[in-house]
Amino acid sequence: MKHIVETDETAFNRRSALEIAELIKQKADIRICFATGETTKGIYHELAELHRHEGLDFSQVTAFVLDEYEGASADNPASCLARLNDQLFDRVNIKKSNISAIASTSKDLHQISKEFEQHIGQAGGIDLMLLGIGTNGHIGFNEPGSPFHSTTRVVPIGEDTIHARAEMFGSREDVPKTGVTMGIKTIMNSRQIFLFAKGVNKAAMLEKALCGPITQDIPASVLQLHPALTVITDEEAASGLPYRPMNY
């Protein structure tokens, strides 16, 4: 595991974007899975700035969207795809045909899940998985108790996520109670994983995920087993760790 610690949010966003950009430069046709959330919002802004000011090229990048709410189309500004379009995809030169999102408005989400998993395999797998971590240890919509052998599937939306998205959807009652997410196995099959965390509210869970037992009760703990995991945090998120991360 490689662990990078930056002093504050600005440095965290910039360093995270630079690490992603370096991999894009190394492999122009890289396949990246993008998560959404407050942790990655600033990172995507910095990536868009790198494209705008330094010519970072997304024209051959293939993008996958990690998860989606049931019934939330790209026209819904609260959907994962709409937020990624707003934060990054519409601000860079990625081809729309190279963006793969979960068709969560379909009547048969179980079939959609199966087809999406197959599509990942047919594309050659994911080169780089971008993840945040929930305060309960979730990654994607994989809540505590998610089996480590799980692939893309229909899942209930966790209470933490419902609470966090209440304002965006209009009210707590309007947040979909079901979604589709890449599973733990799908995530772990990625060639590289970047895990991002910022803020003191993530410190306790990050310590459990990186240093505690590997357990389905903390889905992110399985990332300890990945051979190419990079963790990028600010100092607040790293404050609960029993070791002093080395900054690379």
The set of catalytic residues is: 67, 136, 138, 143
171 Rama sector, left if φ>0, alpha if ψ -120 to 50, beta otherwise: beta
Name the β-bridge partners of 6. 234
- E-strand stretches of 35-156: 62-65, 67-69, 99-100, 128-132, 153-156
Closest listed residue to residue 237, CA positions, set 80, 11, 67? 11
